[in-house]
Amino acid sequence: MTHIRLNSLALGALALALLFGGPVVGQPKPVPGPIPAAPTSLKPPVAADGEIRVDQDKTVLSVMLAAKMPLKLAVMSKPDRVIVDLPEVNFQLAPDFGRKPSGLIRSARFGLFAPGRSRIVIELARPASPIAELGEVLGGAAYKLDLILEPISAEAFQRAVQASAPLEEAKKTDLPLAPQGDSRPVIVLDPGHGGIDNGATGFGQSLEKDVVLGFARELKAKLEEGGKYRVVMTRDRDVFVSLGDRVKTAQKSGAALFISIHADTLSAAPSVRGFTVYTGSEKASDAEAARLAEAENLSDQIAGADNEDESDEIAGILGDLTLRETRSYSHLFARTLVGQMSGGTKANKNPHRSARFRVLRAPDVPSVLLELGYLSSKADAEMMQDPAWRGQTASTIVAAVNNFMAPRMAVGGAPPPKP
Ligand SMILES: [Zn+2]
């Protein structure tokens, strides 16, 4: 068995990718550079049998892996987290695994962070130092990963954060772009969350990331049926995409419209129902919109990615004027969308709201964030899984897109008339 320890005495281990299962206990072999991605032709190994146990003052999180693999360990603060990066694995854990606090663990998340790379994020209840051990079990048929957390002082944890080598960012290249040589306008669909970021959890353990991906696929098919648009999805699988990369996909595709799709929860008020369309603004329209934007803006942090704020850079290059003009188009589309959707499905009390959503900050692409409904409402959660509702709602959104795009397409790419 090999292990790496992460504490104030052994911070050097942070900078290294370590190959587990080496011959000498306690002397893992350093592998320079990034963790190699699993070959795409092979199925990723399974990770199963998750377990969290409290052993006196320690807390141990264990997962069985079907193969030996290198991994990287890091700690981050605000909130205090332990992050484990590993090649892509197929997590087959109970849906509620890691959701409840236990010992030093407040919660634990698992998922794909970037193509070929998986991540475990443990949010800590108290500052702790992690040790990772990977031991062969069942005669080499599987490997048991133990993440052992020991309490340390807040000062020691801060020192570990300072010394922690930065983890790789989610891949910035290979953004999904519209095909070249096709002059039809591009609509970018952005299913929220994904991979290690589950988004909200609703009735029957339904996850926001799955509900919105299913809906976005349906909407893409319906938009493409008419043959008028090229449709680009910011993600088409269960993978994490940073908020910055979602915005960049819209910009680099030269998108005419960006629609981010979500399904929030409001656990304090499970009877609240209906869809809401949000536009970006510096000042929130109401407290509920501000709360939602704050929650959605945490996506990068939840995944353990750097939460860089690009707003200053954007303002410097393109100026407030472009953003203001674009936002008037975003408002126009939001009103059109609310009008179309209100005929067929239940609208929230105030269906058009605004707040400072980071994903709506492309200064040159009209952008809205559509909350399809509330996963915290049993009725909404069931409705969003109903194929008939999905098909019908996707059709009303296509109608709104057609209304918004018609003036632009009629004049051959000139901007639509001012709202
Ligand atoms: Zn969301």
Residue 243 is predicted with a pLDDT of 93
Annotated domain spans of the chain: 2-163, 186-410
Tell me how far the alpha carbon of residue 195 lies from the centroid of ligand 1, in angstroms: 13
Distance of CA 147 from the midpoint of ligand 1 (Å): 29
**pLDDT computed for residue 318 by the predictor:** 57
* Residues belonging to the chain: 419
* Chain centroid, CA 243 distance in Å: 8
CATH classification number, 2-163, choose in 1.10.150.20, 1.10.3720.10, 2.60.40.3500, 1.20.1440.230: 2.60.40.3500
Ligand 1 geometric centre to CA of 234 (Å): 14
The region that residue 334 occupies, defined by phi over 0 for left and psi between -120 and 50 for alpha, beta otherwise, is alpha
Distance (Å, whole) CA 268 – CA 350 = 18
Tell me, what's the pLDDT at 2?
57
Q: Is 256 exposed, middle or buried (0-12, 13-18, 19+ CB in 10 A)?
A: buried
* DSSP secondary structure letter of residue 308: -
Distance CA 76, CA 80 (A): 6
332: left (phi over 0), alpha (psi -120 to 50) or beta: alpha
CATH 1.10.1740.10 fits 186-410, yes or no: no
Distance 302 CA to ligand 1 centre (A): 12
CB 154 within 8 A of CB 67: no
Cα(369) to centroid(ligand 1), Å: 9
Which of left, alpha, beta for 309 (phi over 0: left; psi -120 to 50: alpha)?
Answer: beta
- The pLDDT value given to residue 352: 96
The rounded distance, in Å, linking the Cα atoms of 214 and 233 is 12
Q: Could you tell me the mean pLDDT of each successive run of 10 residues in the chain, 419 residues long?
A: 48 32 33 50 82 95 93 90 92 88 94 89 95 90 94 95 77 68 93 94 88 97 95 94 93 95 85 92 92 90 68 56 86 96 86 94 93 92 93 96 90 51
